[in-house]
Chain A
Amino acid sequence: MSDERAAGAANGDSQWPLWEVFAQPPKGAPHEHVGSVHAATAEQALENARDVYTRRGEAVSLWVVPSQAITASTPDDMGPFFDPGNDKPYRHPQFYKVPRGVKVF
């Protein structure tokens, strides 16, 4: 990354590292991925994220994370990786029967 910065400084035209932006909406929802920004430092990434993603009070909190720091599952994992959660209907309430007479449960 330092090399990239040096090259950018030489031609005065660096695009800087990429940061993923997560914003928390005002009503107590969890932080949600909203997009990304380029920035030279974490503080600048926060400021850029504020200017780009919260011009209308959309957030009460922002996280910025270096994109390279994120470990993500891949589409190829789809089958085996998520399998354990896909074949257990008994984890859902609909799996269980309630006697007919009971209207409100």
Chain B
Amino acid sequence: MAEQPVSKQSAPSDDPARVAEFEARIARGETIEPKDWMPERYRRQLIRMMSQHAHSEVVGMLPEGNWITRAPSLRRKMALLAKVQDEAGHGLYIYCGTETLGVDRHELVRQLLNGTAKYSSIFNYPTLTWADIGCIGWFVDGAAIVNQTMLAHASYGPYARAMVRICKEENFHKRQGYEIMATLARGTPEQRAMAQDAVNRWWWPSLMMFGPSDTDSANSEELMRWGVKKKSNDELRQRFVNLTVAQAKAIDLTLPDPDLAYDEETENWRFGAIDWDEFWRVVKGDGPCNRERLAARNKAHDEGAWVRAAATAYAAKRERATEAA
């Protein structure tokens, strides 16, 4: 039962018969567990995807943490604190799942801190006003729910189970965000304008969260074949748009896309072209806040060093005391 990391030495060469057997298991809808044989490429893809996901949860705390001291009421402050704490928990659930693939969290954190790991580009955009916090809950957590609801059926057991846990908690995030937006939208003209401005800035980056279009996604085909993903980036993006249009209408805010139109035939909301140049620019490190986020994460890690050292020293002291007794 224990999801211990599998030994790093056990990297059998992917002999075709075993791969076929593995793919047959996936096709039967079986769940792959940590000690099961898996193609090396499946393991690597999962480590990449899950660690990026975990890093995103951790970095996601930064733009919101900025606003905890400036939340407009105690109610909002409590909610935001709880949300940011959840994000830390979500990061830990997924790191724990990733470790079952035979990689140390230590190593993953190192890759995040030295800038070699990727995380969701959405967190490289700044949170300029309080409405941005509402918009993140509504759009960013909303988009995450669409993605994670799918991942809760992923073929790798520890990942799927972490997603189930996260999905249960994430609905609170989306609702608190939407409530902030609804409140601002029916407030003073200035508050309304602030809400609309946040929508204008966050809409397109939120659509980019689902990743490149299916035609340009390097990993999608393989991840779908191995049952890690059950839907393509474009399908998920469409689902998010379909859900969000009605929610925006209900609070009388306008999504910044003149091409947004309902297609009777497909029952989808068609939307305009995404600026993929911007997407790749931010992914490659040139977003508005890439450097700031990494610097903040490194600062927090460095400033926590004494806590880790103290806990280690305490454990060593206890061990000595036990040995002496």
Contact = CB atoms under 8 A, between A and B. Distances in A.
Contacts of B3: 20, 33, 35-36
Interface residues of B, number: 38
Given A12-B305, A35-B96, A35-B162, 6 more contacts: A8-B308, A8-B312, A40-B315, A41-B311, A51-B89, A53-B89
B308 A52 contact: no
B179 interface: no
Interface in B293-325: 305-306, 308-309, 311-316, 318-319
Nearest to B311: A40
Contacts of B111: none
A55 B86 contact: yes
B37 A13 contact: no
B169 A72 contact: no
29 contacts: A2-B319, A5-B312, A5-B316, A8-B312, A9-B316, A12-B305, A12-B308, A13-B308, A14-B106, A14-B308, A15-B104, A15-B106, A18-B5, A20-B2, A33-B2, A35-B93, A35-B161, A41-B315, A52-B89, A52-B92, A53-B89, A55-B169, A67-B2, A67-B4, A72-B35, A75-B33, A75-B35, A75-B36, A75-B37
B89 A55 contact: yes
* Residue among B85, B97, B109, B316 with max Cβ neighbours from chain A (10 Å): B316
A56 interface: yes
B105 A9 contact: no
Contacts, number: 89
A18 B96 CA distance: 9
A49 B36 CA distance: 26
Interface residues of A, number: 33
* Residue among A15, A34, A44 with max Cβ neighbours from chain B (10 Å): A15
Interface string B22-43: 0000000000010111000000
Contact of A14 (B36, B312, B318): B312
Interface string B100-122: 00001110010000000000000
Contacts of A20: 2-4
Contact of A9 (B36, B37, B169, B309): B309
Nearest to A70: B2
Contact of A36 (B82, B96, B309, B316): B96
B99 interface: yes
Contacts of B315: 5, 16, 40-41, 44
Contacts of B314: 40-41
A33 to B, nearest CB: 5
Looking at chain A's contact residues, the main secondary structure is mixed
B273 interface: no
Contact of B312 (A40, A51, A56, A67): A40
A72 B33 CA distance: 13
A8 B33 CA distance: 30
B105 A38 contact: yes
Given A35-B162, A41-B318, A70 B92 contact: no
Nearest to A77: B35
Contacts of B4: 18, 20, 67-68, 70, 72
A65 B35 CA distance: 19
A24 B319 CA distance: 29
A72 B2 contact: yes
Contact of B35 (A39, A40, A55, A74): A74
B1 interface: yes
A62 interface: no
B305 A13 contact: yes
A15 B105 contact: yes
Interface in A1-44: 2, 5, 8-9, 12-16, 18, 20, 33-41, 44
Contacts of A16: 311-312, 315
Contacts of B37: 75
A85 to B, nearest CB: 17
Nearest to B85: A55
